[in-house]
Structure 1
Amino acid sequence: MRLKTVTRRTLLAATVAAMVGTSALAPMAFSAEGDAKGKTVEYITFGLQFEYQVAMVEGMKKRAEEAGIVLNVIDGKGDPNNQVTQALDAVTKQPDAIVINPIDATLLVAGVKRANEAKIPVFIMENAPPEGEYLGFVDFDNEAGGALGADALAKAIGEKGVVLETRGSVGSAQAQARHKGFTERMAANYPNIEVRSLNTEWAADNANKMVLDAFTQDPNIVGVFSHNDEMVRGIVSALRQIGKLVPPGEAGHVTVIGLDGTPLALDRIREGTQHATVAQDPYAMGGGGILEQVIAYFEGRDYDKNMQTKPYLIDKANVDDARNWGNLKK
């Protein structure tokens, strides 16, 4: 493979996640005992413009309500600088815990360290900061997700041709792992596929513009792997604009595979404008993962401090399966 750089709940699998740099899960540096009821938690989201993130918040709110926790949700809006201010502001509120889903974990080190100084426990989702202490971490096997996307795309296009990769943000560990999984699997197993990576920064508008440009330069592109299903909106729009939204099985069809398993992605799979999506379960990560860690901490119980969910492929064969979190939103 030639590589060009141009960027219903599933079972949780407890694993030891690889920590980055000098970050570490704190050895219970803070004490807690008793009940979770009445405790306050500040949750700084990645951004509520993403359907996946909205579903994650819904699951966390439900679990928090069951436990009697007051959960204050702060919209990160996909802006890493905004998240830094939000993290520092959250510390001033003196909550019983802070949960963060970082956009750029490096920028959030100041907020995490400020919380450490204030003796406020921190829990992290998906993107581990390189410094500071946190008491729990939940993520998704992003590298495996990227590799699964590569296998599915390669199979669909007959293991040859030029494909695009629309990427998440450069400062995102999730995006870097998805990129690694996708490109390394392509390089190792599919030498007749050329990958052109686009730095589309998680955004559908960016994906639309950059995919249009890519097809202008090379109209023979046969497939696209997107780091999230949100960007597929822009990709499908671009294909429609240039007359490339051809039904599967017909000449000129472009295979599109996303990642997340959103309700809209499932609808696109049914209608044939998206071939497949790599599923990651927001309910397992949110209400079933990070909130369970927080609750166990409040109750003084032992808990798995590293948790990881695993990907699986959704296509026409299993798109209506009750296992798919996107079907719960119907």
Structure 2
Amino acid sequence: MKTNIKIIGLLAATSLSVLTSPVFAKEMTLGLSVDQLFESRVGVTDAIKAEAERQGYKVIEVVADGDAQAQNSQIQSLVTQKVDAILVCAVDQNTIERALIGAKRTGIPIVAFDRALPNSRAVDAFVGPDSITDGYLAGEYTANQFKDSAEEVVILELLGALNDQNGIDRSKGFNDAINKLENVKVVAMPTDWDSARALSATQNAFQANPNIKAVFAATDTHIPSVETVLNDLNKMVPAGSDGHVVVTGVNGSNDGYQATVSGSADGIVVMDLETTGITTVKVATALLNGEQVEVNNVIPGNFYTTDNIAANKANIWGAK
């Protein structure tokens, strides 16, 4: 599948010397505005801070704990503290847009990371996962499992948050791939990234559609909820065996890794958190130097199956 603009576009737009050896007249300070801390977000922010340290930057980190109003105030505080650039993963774009515009008016470059803000008038660039491709990889695998089926294939899709671009794009990619099947029916259930909602959604979906053949989880942290339901229904059959329900997801958490190793899940798409963090700082560096950068810098994940995930454990961020 043809993906969006990738990290290679950044390298073409910005000299390698700028990316690796910035020279500034004073110590530069990056304002790091984080929506909330959970496993994958910590992985990205750790990579950002490590790269910032390598570049000789100071970092002021603020965490909103999922409170959009708090993040709005925190961004205003970063502006008051005269940070040189702001790296932001938004709780909610609409709530923080005013603060971002205020930062933009003072000349502060703004890089959105991990969660795109496509309608923002303030963001200079985005760095994050290629969520459309990530969803497509899971959908492509699922479609291949049923390409010769003459029966209707009912698939449960556990959606992420409907106001999160990553969730929206993962769903788009998955459906783009799965719609190649002529006899597919997708049952989409929202979860808002909540595992309890994923559990109840899975229970309700199987009650209404007992012949569900596959499940796609927008985040693989919801796969344990799927396993619980399959066990309760005596449908927990390992991958490769008759009666197996095909399960895929996106993320790279330890939950997804363990489920794939055991064969209760067929495979997961693993996000490259380290490259995302490093690239975010490099884009900020280029902007601080007045260089032009690609607006969208996306990094596709890698799909690992039960057959090869253990051999690639070193590449699974959640399994480290």
Give the alignment's TM-score, normalised by structure 1.
0.81
Question: Is the counterpart of residue 124 in structure 1 residue 119 in structure 2?
Answer: no
Aligned length: 301
CA distance in 2, matches of 1:148, 1:268: 18
Q: Deviations along 1:84-129, whole A, 9 cap, x unmatched?
A: 3433333333222111122432333112112113332211123124
Residue type at the aligned position of 1:171: N
Question: Is the counterpart of residue 102 in structure 1 residue 102 in structure 2?
Answer: no
- Residue number in structure 2 paired with 1:77: 65
CA distance in 2, matches of 1:273, 1:87: 43
CA distance 1:153–1:267, change in 2 (3 Å): same
- Residue number in structure 2 paired with 1:146: 135
Please give the secondary structure, in 2, of the residue aligned with 1:35: coil
Question: Is the counterpart of residue 315 in structure 1 residue 305 in structure 2?
Answer: yes
Once the 2 structures are TM-superposed, how far is the Cα of residue 261 of structure 1 from its aligned partner?
Answer: 2.1
Query: Contact 2:109–2:288 (CA<8 Å) still a contact in 1?
Result: no
Larger relative contact order (CA 8 Å, sep ≥ 6): 1
Once the 2 structures are TM-superposed, how far is the Cα of residue 269 of structure 1 from its aligned partner?
Answer: 1.0
Q: Unmatched 5+ residue regions in structure 1? A: 1-10, 16-32
CA distance in 2, matches of 1:65, 1:239: 46
CA distance in 2, matches of 1:301, 1:322: 37
Question: Is the counterpart of residue 275 in structure 1 residue 266 in structure 2?
Answer: yes
Question: Is the counterpart of residue 183 in structure 1 residue 171 in structure 2?
Answer: no
Query: Contact 2:267–2:303 (CA<8 Å) still a contact in 1?
Result: yes
Once the 2 structures are TM-superposed, how far is the Cα of residue 242 of structure 1 from its aligned partner?
Answer: 3.6
- Residue number in structure 2 paired with 1:237: 228
Once the 2 structures are TM-superposed, how far is the Cα of residue 245 of structure 1 from its aligned partner?
Answer: 2.5
CA distance in 2, matches of 1:223, 1:169: 21
CA distance in 1, matches of 2:110, 2:317: 32
Q: Deviations along 1:125-183, whole A, 9 cap, x unmatched?
A: 23124132233321322222222211111223455521111111111122222222222
Question: Is the counterpart of residue 295 in structure 1 residue 285 in structure 2?
Answer: yes
Please give the secondary structure, in 2, of the residue aligned with 1:273: coil
Q: Unmatched 5+ residue regions in structure 2? A: 1-5, 11-21
Deviates more, 1:101-110 or 1:319-328: 319-328
Residue type at the aligned position of 1:142: S
Once the 2 structures are TM-superposed, how far is the Cα of residue 307 of structure 1 from its aligned partner?
Answer: 1.6
CA distance in 2, matches of 1:90, 1:261: 32
- Residue number in structure 2 paired with 1:13: 8
- Residue number in structure 2 paired with 1:28: none
Please give the secondary structure, in 1, of the residue aligned with 2:7: coil
Question: Is the counterpart of residue 47 in structure 1 residue 3 in structure 2?
Answer: no
Cα RMSD of the aligned pairs, angstroms, is 2.7
Query: Contact 2:109–2:284 (CA<8 Å) still a contact in 1?
Result: no
CA distance 1:143–1:129, change in 2 (3 Å): closer
Once the 2 structures are TM-superposed, how far is the Cα of residue 59 of structure 1 from its aligned partner?
Answer: 1.0
Residue type at the aligned position of 1:173: Q
CA distance in 1, matches of 2:92, 2:50: 27
CA distance in 2, matches of 1:323, 1:37: 41
CA distance in 1, matches of 2:25, 2:57: 6
Query: Contact 2:257–2:318 (CA<8 Å) still a contact in 1?
Result: no
Once the 2 structures are TM-superposed, how far is the Cα of residue 229 of structure 1 from its aligned partner?
Answer: 1.6
CA distance in 2, matches of 1:241, 1:38: 58
Give the alignment's TM-score, normalised by structure 2.
0.83
- Residue number in structure 2 paired with 1:167: 159
- Residue number in structure 1 paired with 2:213: 222
Query: Identity, % of aligned pairs?
Result: 24
Residue type at the aligned position of 2:153: G
